[in-house]
Amino acid sequence: MDGRNLMQLVIPWAGQDRLFRLDTGDVMDLEQARDGEGIGAIYIRVIAFQYSVSDLFHILRIGLIGGGMKAIEAEILVRDQLSAGRFALHCETCGEILAALVEGIAPSDEQGDGDPAEAFDLADIAVRLNMKPQEIREMRFDDFINLIRAHNKRAEPKIRPPSEEEFMDILRRYEPENVT
């Protein structure tokens, strides 16, 4: 990621992995599209599920365009997806995008409030995130951390974000050939 990009994130959306990228100009475009409202206010509204469909539309569209999709293709795709409803699902995606932008990824020595000796159980984490273990195995570390952060804002009990080393250990321990 070059210095002009504040955030880039590859996440599954609309049937395939999509690159969402925002630079400073994109954030300003998003703020302008939301009548000058600041990115902080937009972020708080989205993660609190107090969004408007217009919020979702502009976050997704601008993020896809920043990720390299042609503007007209991004607009058509976002309109098609939003016309099918499932706004809560789209809001979660927007929350992930904005969390990556606003919060980024903490260095591994700052992560977690829990006991460092606490073992992570992939099956337990998958159940708490409403995911299949295989979906977690396929994730990049930064995507996993952003997902946990989004979960922790809305749910109890909290999941302690692992360090990158702990995440890799989780993946190693739960490879199909290592599970007995």
pLDDT at residue number 91? 92
Q: What was the pLDDT predicted at 69?
A: 94
Please, how many CA atoms are within 13 Å of residue 144, restricted to the half-sphere of its CB?
25
Q: How many helices (H) and strands (E) does the chain have?
A: 9, 2
What is the predicted pLDDT for the residue at 141?
83
Q: Which pLDDT score is estimated for 34?
A: 92
Of 96, 24, 20, 101, nearest in space to 64 by CA = 20
Over the chain (180 residues), the average pLDDT of each successive run of 10 is 63 90 90 92 91 96 93 97 94 90 55 43 69 76 82 76 80 60
